[in-house]
Amino acid sequence: MKNLIFKMFLAVFAVGIFTGCGNSESSSVDGLTAIQQKGVITVGVFSDKPPFGFVNDKGENDGFDVYIARQIAKDLLGDASKVKFELVEAASRVEFLKSGKVDLIMANFTKTPERAEVVDFATPYMKVALGVVSKGGVIKDIADLKGKKLIVNKGTTADFYFTKNHPEIDLIKFDQNTEAFLALKDGRGDALAHDNLLLFAWAKENLDFVVAIGKLGNEDVIAPAVKKGDKTLLEWVNQEIAKLNENGFMQEAYTKTLAPIYGEDQLKSVLFVK
């Protein structure tokens, strides 16, 4: 009887060891290898932030970030269609990376010290600053916001900037860009703060509104982001962005998606190209 119990113990112990080894080996697979094994890269993008990330009239993902993401899929997996787009909101971008819902964030993600503590940013591909848009351009200075309501998106650099530097300003926060801009048009807020490039594009389609504060705070950069500690994928994306800048692809992406709005003369002020 004792021998039988001892044999059963050894069998269970052996299964535990081999099972543990299998789990350890599986968990050690890096992000880059995992993408190559599954044959698709999952990228987080916006659905409502034209011309950077949006869903077009055909129901397809479109925009500058999407254009670059498809090229990343082509260079990594040999086919531009081997990309799965996950629609994210500004406040959910970090969580989508941390939870593994996406491999890469290409949702107009501004690099900040706070965010860099929880995700790894790759080489930036765009420059941006904050701006403020209002009806008729009546808000021309921060002082004009005294006693007024300012609309921002939750989790954006605009949210962080005004919360930290101007706590006296009354902020109205929304999850989605669509909600925020609709609130401005409906008069639920006196002005809206966001990335200046987005505001310039929106104001061209909404002529009653003017971006009278075109640059606020420091100039920031937009960069892809991967899960914290995913070194192999980060290194590959860094090399990819450098290559896309050098071979002219970024200029092509700008011409196809952004130039119709901003003009070719703004290319060098927006991108990291020579």
Residues 195 and 59 in one domain: no
Is residue 211 assigned to a domain? yes
User: 167 exposed, middle or buried (CB, 10 Å; 0-12, 13-18, 19+)?
Assistant: exposed
Q: What's the pLDDT score for residue 156? A: 93
Q: What's the pLDDT score for residue 28? A: 54
Is residue 234 assigned to a domain? yes
Q: What's the pLDDT score for residue 258? A: 95
Domains identified in the chain, total number = 2
Query: Greater confidence, 217 or 92?
Result: 92
Find the CATH number of the domain harbouring 245: 3.40.190.10
Report the distance separating Cα 261 and Cα 201, nearest Å: 6
Q: What's the pLDDT score for residue 12? A: 42
Domain that holds residue 58: 32-125+223-270
pLDDT exceeds cutoff 80 at 5: no
Report the distance separating Cα 160 and Cα 143, nearest Å: 18
Is residue 9 assigned to a domain? no
Report the distance separating Cα 11 and Cα 232, nearest Å: 38
Q: What's the pLDDT score for residue 217? A: 84
pLDDT band for 90, please (50, 70, 90 cuts): very high
pLDDT exceeds cutoff 50 at 193: yes
Neighbours of 193 (CB within 10 A): 29
Residues 44 and 108 in one domain: yes
Q: What's the pLDDT score for residue 97? A: 97
Residues 144-178 have pLDDT tens digits of 999 999 999 999 999 999 999 999 999 999 999 99
Neighbours of 54 (CB within 10 A): 21
Residues 22-76 have pLDDT tens digits of 433 334 569 999 999 999 999 999 999 999 999 999 999 999 999 999 999 999 9
Is residue 18 assigned to a domain? no
Residues 41 and 152 in one domain: no
